[in-house]
Every structure is written in C-alpha cells, then in structure tokens.
Structure 1
Amino acid sequence: MGELLVLVAIGVGTYLMRAAFLATAGARPPAAVGRLLRHVGPAVLAAIALPALVAPQGRVALDATVPALLAAAVAGVAWKFTRSLPLALFGGLVVAWATTWLLT
C-alpha cells in the first residue's frame, strides 16, 4: 500500500510540474531568476561532463584519468585558437589515444 501511495504522489507531482509550465507559458520570470537561469545549462553540462573526465571508469586512477584530462585540455585549447570543433575533437582524441598508449 505504501508503494502505491509513493507512485501516486510521484504521478501527481509530475502532473503539477507540467501543468505549472503550461499555465504560466506567457509569463516572464522575475529579473533575478532570469539572470540565474542563464547559468543552468552550463552548470548541468559541467555536472555531466566532469565525472566522466575525473573518473572515466567509475574510479579515479592514473591510467584512466590523465588521458581524459589531457584530451579535454588539448581539445579546449585547440577550439579556443582555431574555433574548429572537428579539429579540436580530433586533437583531443589523438592526445587521449597517445597518453593511453604511453601509460599502458
């Protein structure tokens, strides 16, 4: 019975969150909230990407972490100077392969 109540509460909560967005579709958020909302996307991307860079196999280990961090750094620098995403990705991939090969 308790599980059913939890499922109903989750369903009602989900419906209310979606209904709130539909009911306030034309409304603008307050200025302070609007300023903060610009940072939500980059924060979410960082929260997704950082664990993959620091602990690519679920744990922090020299043989897995160093190639990922070096590849990310090289890709970031390459993109900053060339503004070419394919070149940055290829450069990061080459560095990841090379450091993985050197460390194994």
Structure 2
Amino acid sequence: MKLSFVYILKCSDDTYYTGVTSNLEKRLEKHHSGFYKDSYTYKRRPLELVFYAEFTDINIAFLKEKQIKKWGKAKKEALIEGRYEDLPNLAKKKF
C-alpha cells in the first residue's frame, strides 16, 4: 500500500503553502533547495513543515489538498494547532 501525504509549509513571509506528494521527504528536499525556481515557495524560503496527514488513497489526498487550499489563514492555523473543534466555525462567513 503506497501512502500519499497532504502537507502544509509555513513560509518565511508568514504565508502557508499546501501540497500533496507520494514522497514527503523528497518533496521537502526540493522545496528547501529551491529546485523549482518558478514555484510559490522559491522566494519564500526558509520553509517549515507545520502539518502533514497520510492517506492510502491519492484521490482523497488530492481532494483534501484542494479543500485546505481554499481555507483562510485562521482555519489553516486551527488545523496545524490541532484545534479541530474550531474548524466548523471558521468556515462560516461573518456578516
């Protein structure tokens, strides 16, 4: 069974990058080295891995990555900090 990972990196400019990979170690190495010069993270190094989750189905990993990418900063930080009970409320719009 091959694992896939959804991960969140904290960038030096205090933003977050969310990605998906089947080899987390290798992918992090590419982010840190600046392998992809046109990538979001290239000019925002150094980077810190602040969250990752394992999946046995790559399709579910892709769905979760897309979901997290739509979230605001506060909701991503709740996930990173393990405040799962806060996630539903952070999804609601404030009027």
- Answer yes or no: same fold by TM over 0.5: no
Larger Rg: 1
| Structure with bigger RCO (C-alpha 8 Å, 6+ apart) | 2
Please state which structure has a larger fraction of its residues in helix. 1
Please state which structure has a larger fraction of its residues in strand. 2
Provide the TM-score with structure 2 as the length reference.
0.30
